[in-house]
Amino acid sequence: MAKYLLRRFIQLVVVSFIISVLAFLLVHLLPGDPTAVILGPNDTPQNKAILLHQLGLNKPLWNQYTIWLTAVFHGNLGQSYLNRESVTHILATGFPIDLELIIISQVIAFAVAIPLALVTSRRPNRPVDNVATTGTFGMLALPPFVIAPILVAVFAVGLHWFPATGYVPFSQNPASNIHGMILPSLAITAGSIAVYYRLLRSDLISTLQEDFITMARSKGLSSRFIMWRHAFRPSTFSLLAGAGVNIGALIAGTFIVEYLFAINGLGYSLVAAVNQRDYLVVQGISLVVAIAYVVIQFFIDFLFTVVDPRVTRG
């Protein structure tokens, strides 16, 4: 176990370094620079040269990268070129919003997918199973930027059940916070429901055909007991893997949804920073989000060892 976790930790460090390089290079390869936004009508060649020098953007890229990475190791992600707000503060403000969106969407996804898979896997290819399978295919075909306007048109504009845009902090009004996060969460949860349902249903059907399940049935155990006590846990391996991989899609989904619903999370800040070529903000958000994704994958791998200890010997 210790060797397995150490190997995974080393991989995490290496991947994090590669991510830091990519996060830096990708933003600097974008056309333009922040001087045009900062200077506005005073954007003359002379003023631009002075500002590039002040920001350190006239140095070679490798030099800029080492300066930035050194600052990151000291816990300093820099400041926005435009409003001098620290990147750390932007992350501290936006990350809880992203996390809340992901948590609510995943609670909804698991609450729908798991019971549905438990029901349909007991009687596959029956009408209920066929309807559920067809419905999940449709969910996979609808990305968040398509679902979001539909939800707003129906439940916000038409029925007036939920607000169309805006965000109320949980600390300010918990009820309004949850109420306002329902539509954005639903917009990114459809794909998760489809993936989790199909993975768990497939594995449950296979598990229920195993010899140890037949033996449990021969002992007169109830179908419900067999499902929960013997079939469910061995069938969650693919579900955990799917949940881990799905985190990347969820992060991208939250970015899109935040922009559509005018929620000032990391996605909203990232889009604004890219448009304004605010390099340090883009680099900081990209780096932290990517590392968070890698850490989540690391945690999912650890859960694999709990569900199936044979993973440590793989």
Domain limits, the chain: 87-278+296-308
Find how far residue 167's CA is from the centre of its chain.
19
Q: Return the amino acid letter for 178.
A: I
From residue 175, give the alpha-carbon distance in Å to each of 4, 102, 178, 182: 44, 18, 5, 11
Integer Cα distance of 99 and 296 in angstroms = 12
Under DSSP, is residue 86 helix (H, G, I), strand (E, B) or coil? strand
pLDDT value, residue 43 = 73
| Residues of the chain falling short of pLDDT 70 | 1, 4, 248, 304-314
Burial (Cβ within 10 Å: 0-12, 13-18, ≥19) of residue 82: middle
Instruction: Determine contact, residues 188/250, Cβ cutoff 8 Å.
Output: yes
Locate 295 and state its tokens: 């850490």
Instruction: Determine contact, residues 168/264, Cβ cutoff 8 Å.
Output: no
| Fold designation for 87-278+296-308 | MetI-like fold (1.10.3720)
pLDDT value, residue 89 = 92
pLDDT value, residue 197 = 92
pTM tops 0.85, yes or no: no
> Torsions phi, psi of 86, nearest 5?
-70, 145
Which residue intervals of 208-311 are DSSP H helices?
A: 211-218, 223-226, 237-260, 266-275, 279-307
